[in-house]
Amino acid sequence: MVFQLIDQESFAWKTNIIKDLFDLEYAKAILSIHLPTTSRPNKLIWLQNPNGKFSIKSAYQLTTQILPPPPSQAKSVRKNFGSSGCQRKSKCLFGGLALTPYQKKDNLLKRININDPSCLLCGFEVETCCHLFFGCPVAKAIWHSSCWGFKADEQLIFACMDIIKLILDPSKALCPSEDQWLIPLNMALVLDEIWHLRNQVSFQEGQVDIPNSIKQINFKFHEFSTLLESEKPSFTTPVVFRWEPPPPGWIKLNVDAAVAESSSALAVVARDDKEIVSKAWSKTHHPCPPIVVEANAILWVAQLAIQERWSHIIIEVDAKRCFDPLSSKDVIPDWYIANSVYSILNLKVGFVQCCFRWVKRESNSTAHETAKLSLASRESFCFNKDNLPRVVHSAYLGDCLKPHPSFVA
């Protein structure tokens, strides 16, 4: 029975028994489950969603085995085009290119019978995404006349994602170096005009008018580049974030975790308003997903603060998915850290004041280095200001020597 795997005195998993009974994968999964400090009602969890709730979309993806593109590519597309100055309809076009199998008549041909699958602009070949935007003679002419002598037939375009990659990372054009940042905008407008021209011919019985298309592209480019000029990328030194001391009488606890394939480590660094390290703890931990380890680290720091009898504490973390449900009742935690989050909130009432604060990794470097040290040595430690290891001491001095930034709430 499950209760036989739990130590009823310490209310913790019997690690040795679990490792004996289960293979490595199952043992890791069981030990990753945090046992709540107070009983909670049973509930059903839908594993395909981080929030544990069922959705039609996740069920459809599960049953049809349709997977999204790699996260790095999807995030890159959203980040670059989401912040660009292109028209909203252009962003929708690029989103379709990046996130779906965006074929035209050849895709329709697989699903329904259509009389003529040829390209609407030239009529020479089957209309695919790659042909429409780069292989079609009409598209080539528009590209050549509108984008610094860009030659579409010299590009290696085999899939929709190749188009997105080309725009995100275009080759250097024959234009002044200070204008290179405008190349993606120009290319985006060319793609948008080709798509617009294709739809005019298809749905409005329009005619192919290359000079007019070039005129439209130049007009839009001038309009958008003028608007974006004030937001032209600058190459100034980025802002450096610094650890900030708490108010007098408070203790600030920075928390972090480090994860490897076979183990993980938790770390906590406590400092007062004079920036002096009161204590620094680290301990090894069984392997878990990074977000679960971060949640366990925050729970541990709350337990340590109670042991030290600190009444006013600030807990700083760089894990946004842990911070959000701790700082707002309206945010539902991901199902796999829910028990940890609720346990932390239960412990919060034991303090006179307890605040949670999210910081960037640069402001959490001392805790980060402490966690890495524990992970590398596979040892648990407790330090004070007089015996900090060299790497932790260097990170601590770096915190103290950096200039103060403005406060980030």
pLDDT tens digit sequence for 80-130: 555 544 555 555 555 555 544 444 555 555 554 556 778 888 888 888 888
> Do 166 and 273 fall within a single domain?
no
- 248 pLDDT tier (thresholds 50, 70, 90): very high
| Same domain membership, residue 17 and residue 138 | no
Residues 111 and 38 in one domain: no
Phi and psi for 306 in degrees, rounded to 5? -65, -40
Nearest to 282 by CA among 390, 364, 371: 371
Mean pLDDT is highest, among 68-82, 97-111, 140-154, 266-280, for 266-280
Within a domain: 408: no
Same domain, 142 and 198: yes
The residue among 262, 241, 249 whose CA lies nearest residue 368 is: 241
Please give, one letter per residue, the 3-state secondary structure of 87-112: CHHHHHHHHHHHHCCCCCHHHHHHHC
Rounded to whole angstroms, the Cα distance separating 127 from 329 reads 52
Claim to verify: residue 28 and residue 85 sit in the same structural domain:
no
- Is 79 contained in some domain? yes
Residues 77 and 173 in one domain: yes
The answer, yes or no, to whether residue 409 has pLDDT greater than 70, is no
Q: Within a domain: residue 237?
A: no
- Are 328 and 287 in contact by the 8 Å Cβ rule? The answer is no
Q: What is the pLDDT of residue 323?
A: 92
Q: How far is CA 257 from its chain centroid?
A: 18
Range(s) of the domain holding residue 94: 71-231
Same domain, 179 and 46: no
% of residues, the chain, pLDDT over 90: 22
pLDDT given at position 99: 45
The H or E element that residue 297 is part of is: helix 290-307
* CA–CA distance, 243 with 184 (Å, rounded to integer): 38
In terms of domains, do 85 and 24 share one? no
Measure the CA–CA gap between 136 and 158, rounded to whole angstroms. 14
Helices in 149-259 by DSSP H: which ranges? 160-168, 183-203, 210-228
Considering the domain boundaries, does residue 201 fall inside one? yes
CB atoms closer than 10 angstroms to residue 263: 15
Is pLDDT above 80 for 79? no
**Domain identity same for 224 and 75:** yes
Identify the three-state secondary structure at position 12: strand
- Pick from 29-33, 202-206, 252-256, 382-386 the range whose average pLDDT is largest: 252-256
Contact 274, 396 (CB under 8 A): no
Indicate whether 76 and 218 sit together in one domain. yes
pLDDT tens, position by position, 308-363: 999 999 999 999 889 999 998 888 888 889 989 999 999 999 999 999 999 888 88
CA distances from 198 to 23, 101, 209, 383 (A): 58, 19, 11, 68
Pairwise pLDDT comparison (291 vs 173), residue with the higher score:
291
pLDDT digits (tens, 9 = 90+) for 310-319: 999 999 999 9
In this structure, is residue 238 part of a structural domain? no
In total, how many domains does the chain have? 3
Residue 204 has pLDDT above 60, yes or no: yes
Q: What is the pLDDT of residues 154-183, one digit of tens each?
A: 777 777 777 877 777 776 655 666 667 778
Q: Is residue 100 part of a domain?
A: yes
pLDDT over threshold 90, residue 73: no
65 in a structural domain:
no
Cβ 300 vs Cβ 321: under 8 Å = no
